[in-house]
Amino acid sequence: MGEPCPELDIQELVLPELDTSKPEAGANLRQWFALTVKYQHERRVDGILSANGVDTFLPLYRARRQWSDRAKDIDAPLFPGYVFGRFRLHDRARIMNMPGVARIVSFAGLPTPVAEQEIENVRAALASKLSVRPWPYLLKAGDRVRIERGPLRGLEGTLLRDGSFLRLVLSVEMLQRSLAVEVDPDMVGPLSN
């Protein structure tokens, strides 16, 4: 198991301003991208990107870690190995040169944006203060539902039973990663076609 990333003075890593003088087709639109980062460097990369003017999103959840001599509650990344960044496509070379960034998640060699709605769904789940934890990514399992009441009203996802609990599974399709948030049965309604 690797060592957690060392503490680092973020101010030492501030890079020059973004070059916005070269407009490319569609490149001026700031979109969310998933960045693959080095093992246990999610917080460090989040700090470096933020210090360099990039909008970031590092979803965290409360996890209990057990060691041989003690147990501790920690804030852990909901999607280990990933940080979301919002930037213009023509800034990708600069983003790739930031310490800790391994790559931008891409398909067919092109960086692929994450849907804004998927980012907002994850934000809403975290803001709800309900129990959130990572969940195995599901393609077609369970029923598609919409939350009709409560802090998650309007969200759509897959409903699963986990023991005696109901959970709404929200997915970031491009990463093939999901999260589950605990919901009450009276909050859920069928998704109308």
pLDDT tens-digit readout, 91-128: 999 999 999 999 999 988 889 999 999 999 999 999 99
Say which amino acid occupies 134: P
Amino acid of residue 143: D
Q: Lowest mean pLDDT: which of 3-12, 91-100, 141-150, 159-168?
A: 3-12
Q: What is the mean pLDDT of residues 16-39?
A: 70
Q: What angle do CA 15, 21, 26 make, to 5 degrees?
A: 100
Is the distance from CB of 166 to CB of 179 less than 8 angstroms?
no
Domains in the chain with CATH codes: 10-14+29-114 (3.30.70.940), 117-190 (2.30.30)
Lowest mean pLDDT among 54-58, 85-89, 158-162, 183-187: 183-187
Residue 21 CA to residue 33 CA, distance in Å, equals: 22
pLDDT-wise least confident of 21-35, 48-62, 66-80, 142-156: 21-35
The H helix count followed by the E strand count for the chain is 3, 15
Strands, sheet with 143-147, edge to edge from the N-terminal-most edge strand: 132-135, 177-183, 165-172, 156-162, 143-147, 188-190
69-82: average pLDDT: 92
pTM above 0.85, yes or no: no
Looking at the predicted structure, is the pLDDT value of residue 22 above 80? no
Could you tell me the CA-to-CA distances from 63 to 72, 90, 107, 114 in Å, in that order?
Answer: 8, 37, 32, 25
What is the residue-averaged pLDDT of the chain?
82
- What's residue 185's pLDDT? 75
Q: Encoding tokens for residue 64?
A: 């209990």
